Amino acid sequence: MENSFLIIGAGEVGLAILNSLYDYQEKHEHQLEIGVLVQPLTSSIAKVRNNSKFVNITVEPLDLINESIQNLTAVFKKYDTVICCSGFSTGHGMQVKITKAVLDAEVRRYIPWQFGVDYDKIGRGSAQPTFDEQLEVRDLLRAQNGTNWIIVSTGLITSFLFREDFGVISLADKTISALGGWQHSLTLTSCEDIGNLTVEILFHKPEILDQVVFIASDTLTFEEISNQLEELFNIKFERRLLDIPQLEKEIQKDPENVFHRYRLVFTHPGVTWPMSQTFNEQNNIPVADLGSWMRENIL
């Protein structure tokens, strides 16, 4: 049990953590029991089983949405550490449901799906209603002492910054829109760094328990992001300012548009922290800054 890990979900973050666990196992010649919980009848099962790197992995096909808390608990009980990478796609209330099942299972360590911003600082009632559920999860964890927990705060996942529908960077139109102001900053962490740093946190000595750990690949202002983009592509990007009144108007016009809400909430100070505050910088662990990530993934 001490060396058994269950990853919930096999999306970008889940696969990154799986890769890092297998890398750690090989590097340290340390045998781990590794499982992954995926929705049944999806391509994720084949994606995991057909990966030659994932030797002796246990696939747990389980429907998070329709399965009872009791059945989830029965699976979670088999593992020492559960790491939730299911994201928000499973729908409202799912992170609370998963957390309750983890606590019922009396798992020793739990890393919930909190790979994002500083939810404590943002607080309830923000532009993004899904963030309130993140605070509900934190309340559940802090109100008990049967399961140790670690929250890994990452800021914005780097690849999300380049989604055309997010509406910040458009590589197609060569535009960049600053959220709130050009001196407002974002903390960015790549999926690969999330995987590597989460595993480093899990195996850190002395053991890290019952705390929020901040990590980052980079923290940059919108002006700095713009300058790096223009340097990389050697062209001028059109720069647009989306100030808070304008972002609020967009939500009023189309309140169901999730990206309008994301753009407004990312003007909050709780989406950014200095590199000096991060686990990786304090422990001299190398990460891929934005320039490195862009050269690797965009050019």
Confidence of residue 188 (pLDDT cuts 50, 70, 90): very high
pLDDT per residue over 201-240, tens digit each?
999 999 999 999 999 999 999 999 999 999 999 999 999 9
pLDDT per residue over 45-102, tens digit each?
888 999 999 999 999 999 999 999 999 999 999 999 999 999 876 678 999 999 999 9
Nearest-CA neighbor of 93 among 118, 76, 69? Answer: 69
pLDDT value, residue 89: 67
Q: Is the pTM of this model over 0.75?
A: yes
pLDDT value, residue 87: 82
pLDDT value, residue 299: 81
pLDDT per residue over 13-51, tens digit each?
999 999 999 999 999 988 899 999 998 877 788 889 999
pLDDT value, residue 147: 98
Cα separation, 180 vs 244, whole angstroms: 5
What is the token pair recorded at 84? 């939730």
pLDDT value, residue 30: 83
Cα separation, 117 vs 213, whole angstroms: 11
Check pLDDT > 60 for residue 267: yes
- Domains present along the chain, CATH in parentheses: 4-157+189-217+271-287 (3.40.50.720)
pLDDT per residue over 106-120, tens digit each?
999 999 999 999 999
| Strand, helix or coil for residue 103 | helix
Share of the chain above pLDDT 90, in %: 90
Long-range contacts of 277-285 (CB under 8 A, 24+ apart): 277/214, 278/214, 278/215, 278/216, 279/197, 279/200, 279/201, 279/213, 279/214, 279/215, 280/193, 280/197, 280/200, 280/215, 280/216, 281/216, 283/200, 283/204, 285/196, 285/197, 285/200
